[in-house]
Structure formats: C-alpha cells, structure tokens
Amino acid sequence: MTLTTLDLQKNQIGAIGAQHLADALQNNKTLTTLDLQENQIGAVGAQHLADALQNNKTLTTLNLSFNQIEAVGAQHLANALQNNKTLTTLYLENNQIGDEGAQHLANALQNNKTLTTLDFRGNEIGDVGAQYLSDALQNNKTLTTLDLQGHIVNSLERNLGIDLNGDGYIGGQGFWSSLERATGIDFNGDGLIGRPFDVMPRYPMAYPSMGYGFRGYPVRGYLIF
C-alpha cells in the first residue's frame, strides 16, 4: 500500500521531528498531503520543511497551522514557494507571521505559479501586510482562495468605525458607500473590488461567483475575510 496522506497533528513533534520528516520528504515520491498543525515546529522546523519543498515533487497540501513559525519561518516557506512547482494548498493559520512575514509570502506569490489556496487567518497582519498581499494579487494568476479572516475586518473597523463583530460578514448598500468614500475605490455597490477576486464573507459556498468580470477582470476566486 502506498502512503499518500499523513496526519500528525497535535503530536508535539517540534523542530527536531520536523527535521526528520523533512529528510524523508526530500526523496519521497508518493505523499501528497501532510498535516502538521499544532506541533510546536517553530521557525527552525519551518526551515527544515521549506528546504524539503525545494526538492519534493509530489506534496500538494501542507498544513502548518498553529506552529509559531513567525516571520522568519514564513520567509523560509516563501523562499521555497519561489521554486516549488507542486504545492497547491498551504495552511498557515495562527502563526504570528505579522506584516513582515506577509511581505515575504507576498513576494513569493509574485512568482509562484501553482499555489491556489493560502489560509492566512489569525496572523496579526495589519494594513501594511494586507497591502503587500493586495499588490501581489495584481500579478498572481493562480491563487483562487486567500483567507484573511479577521485581518481586513479589523482594519475596516478601525478605519471606518463600523462594528463588524469580527466575522467577515459585510453587506448592504450603506456599508459599501461608506467604504467607497473612505478608500476611494469604486465598489459599484456590490462588494467587488478592482482586482480579479470576489469579496465574500466567511462562507463563500453560500455566495457563488457572479460569473462576470469587473473592470475587465474575470471573476475567478474568493477573498475571504
């Protein structure tokens, strides 16, 4: 039997355990999904795994949520994403990545041609980090789902004085009119921003794509906040 999925979440493997797994990934040719969330891997462990991603040709899904990798770990992963040609889904929820880490990953998104889903929830990203990611989306042609739950909502609450309860559910003509005045962006009253992403609440499947472009862009994905 060939192993394609390995779930090691909540095992406290730490950086040393991550190193051993990374060594195995260097030559593995069958594993496609690796779940390492909540394992106290840290930045050092993230570096080992990132090094493996430089050579691995089969892994498509990697979950590193809740591992305290911080900005340094994000930088190592970003370096790997510059060259990796197979990873399509990366979960980095709650890793204290911050604006600096967001910048590293945004730089990687400028060149990466395979990643379609990036979960970035709960990473202490402010307006600066959100801008880095926004700029990257102007050039990236493959990412279809970027989950920034909490980050953009918190920024909008600060800038507009609107209580959104942190759940990302934004709607109503009055809200979008206020947002247009505050940002200078024409949302056309429907929440579509001038880049190839729909702005959708946290449950995107309940709000399917409109099926048309905005300012010449095809609608092809969700920006979840």
Q: Which helix (H) or strand (E) is 199 found in, with range?
A: strand 198-200
Lookup: tokens for 82? 């510059």
Q: Does a structural domain hold residue 181? A: yes
192 in a structural domain: yes
Output phi, psi for 96, to 5 deg: 50, 40
Number of domains in the chain: 2
Residue 46 lies in a domain: no
The answer to the question of residue 201 being in a domain is yes
Distance CA 93, CA 95 (A): 6
pLDDT recorded at residue 7: 97
Q: Which domain holds residue 22?
A: 1-38+65-75+99-105
Evaluate whether residue 125 is within a structural domain: no
The per-residue pLDDT for 131 is 79
- Taken in order 19, 24, 27, 30, the sign of the CA dihedral is negative
CA dist 66 and 28 (Å) reads 25
Low-confidence ranges of the chain (pLDDT < 70): 1, 150-225
Is residue 94 situated within a structural domain? no
Please check whether residue 27 lies inside any domain of the structure.
Answer: yes
pLDDT for the residue numbered 153? 52
Residue 85 lies in a domain: no
Going from the C-alpha of 94 to that of each of 65, 84, 123, 150, the distances in angstroms are 6, 23, 5, 11
Q: Report the alpha-carbon distance of residue 56 to residue 25 in Å, rounded.
A: 6
